[in-house]
Chain A
């Protein structure tokens, strides 16, 4: 069970949240110019690292705001919580 610190409500139990998958995936500005492979890569392929991973979470049963979480997928340690639109705090590729 994770204790996630919502940027607004403070530390809350994992069951109040929903995970929205990997963060920092930008929709291509000209989808029609992409090859099928590049479009499929945008739609389906994710990094799935063992280690720090930037994810989107939403406080479903609280304030219903979205935010980003940097979580170590091997240890479940939450390294950072930051607002939507902010860059990854550890400077890794986005």
Chain B
């Protein structure tokens, strides 16, 4: 991890905090956008057929590692605990609250390394853009080939795909209080600026409100 005083989020140059403050009273926006900076992210690899590994890893992250493709386990609210996304048959992404990843990585290494597991801290590889609101799905559908029908890509589902030709990991959170969908888009740092600009352009017709996440 970079020294905290040198650390800048991938979208720091856009001044999103000031824009969020200016947009606070906005109520007619169809889409809300924000950056969740410094998400803790750990890449975990291991054999799901190895019970010792599954028990050790699942015990450390307080949930059973998901083995059904495109699903997740753990907490929707990261302040409550880590969330585990299925990436591949032998690979998971563990998402934590900012700053919680280092301690968890240490625990995971201690628990899973002895039974064929491998843990890599990839927190600085990607940032997370939060996209929510009544038209959030419409915006995604403009650039993502996934089947995003609400009955198919449900809360808790995740997928690796392309969004406007940028490689992303998409996660659908629990719906907002008003019933509208909410997504988290993990995107590599180097594509974050491009994707943010694309999202804002694609969402322009619905009205955009920048939010603090």
Indicate if B120 sits at the interface (CB-CB under 8 A).
Answer: no
State whether B69 touches A63 (Cβ < 8 A).
yes
Residues of B within 8 A of A77 (CB): none
CB-CB nearest in chain A for B89: A8
Residues of A57-74 at the interface with B, using a CB-CB cut-off of 8 Å, are: 61-65
Q: How far is the CB of B140 from chain A (nearest CB, A)?
A: 14
Report the Cα distance A8→B87, complex, angstroms: 10
Nearest A-chain residue to B167, judged by Cβ: A61
Q: Closest residue to B152 on the A side, CB-wise?
A: A10
Given A13-B145, A15-B145, A16-B145, CB of A64 within 8 Å of CB of B88: yes
Asked if A12 contacts B145 (CB within 8 A), the reply is yes
Q: Is the beta-carbon distance between A63 and B89 smaller than 8 angstroms?
A: yes
- Roughly how many angstroms separate A13 CA and B162 CA in the complex, as a whole number? 10
For B70, the closest partner residue in chain A by CB is A9
Render B146-170 as a binary contact track against A, CB cut-off 8 A, 1 for contact. 1100000000000111100001000
- Which B residue sits closest to A13, measured CB to CB? B145
Residue of A nearest to B145 (CB): A13
Contact assessment for B88 and A65 in the assembled complex, using a CB-CB cutoff below 8 Å: yes
Which size bracket describes the interface of A in this complex?
10 to 19
Q: B89 contacts which chain A residues (CB < 8 A)? A: 8, 63, 65
Pair count A-B, CB < 8 A: 37
Indicate if the CB atoms of A61 and B160 lie closer than 8 Å. Answer: yes
Query: Which A residues are in CB contact (< 8 Å) with B87?
Result: 63
- Given the contacts A61-B167, A63-B87, A12 and B161 also touching, CB distance less than 8 Å: yes
Q: Which of B69, B146, B162 contacts A8 (CB 8 A)?
A: B69
Q: Bound complex: CA of A8 vs CA of B145, how far in Å?
A: 17
CA distance A15 to B89 in the complex (A): 21
Interface residues of A in 9-32 (CB under 8 A from B): 9-13, 15-16
Report if A16-B70 is in contact (Cβ < 8 Å); known contacts: A61-B167, A63-B87, A65-B89.
no
- Report yes or no: A12 in contact with B69, Cβ–Cβ below 8 A: no
List, in ascending order, chain A residues with CB within 8 A of B70's CB.
9-10
Closest chain A CB from B84 CB (angstroms): 15
With a cutoff of 8 Å between Cβ atoms, the chain A residues found around residue B160 in the complex are 9, 61-63
Give complex CA distance A66, B146 in Å: 20
Contacts of A63 in B (CB 8 A): 69, 87-89, 91, 160
Instruction: Tell me the chain B residues, 101-152 only, with Cβ under 8 Å from chain A.
Output: 145-147
6 chain-A/chain-B pairs, Cβ below 8 angstroms: A9-B69, A9-B159, A12-B146, A13-B146, A62-B160, A64-B88
10 extra A-B contacts, CB within 8 A, seeds A16-B145, A62-B160, A64-B88: A8-B88, A9-B69, A9-B70, A11-B147, A12-B161, A13-B146, A16-B162, A61-B162, A62-B88, A62-B159
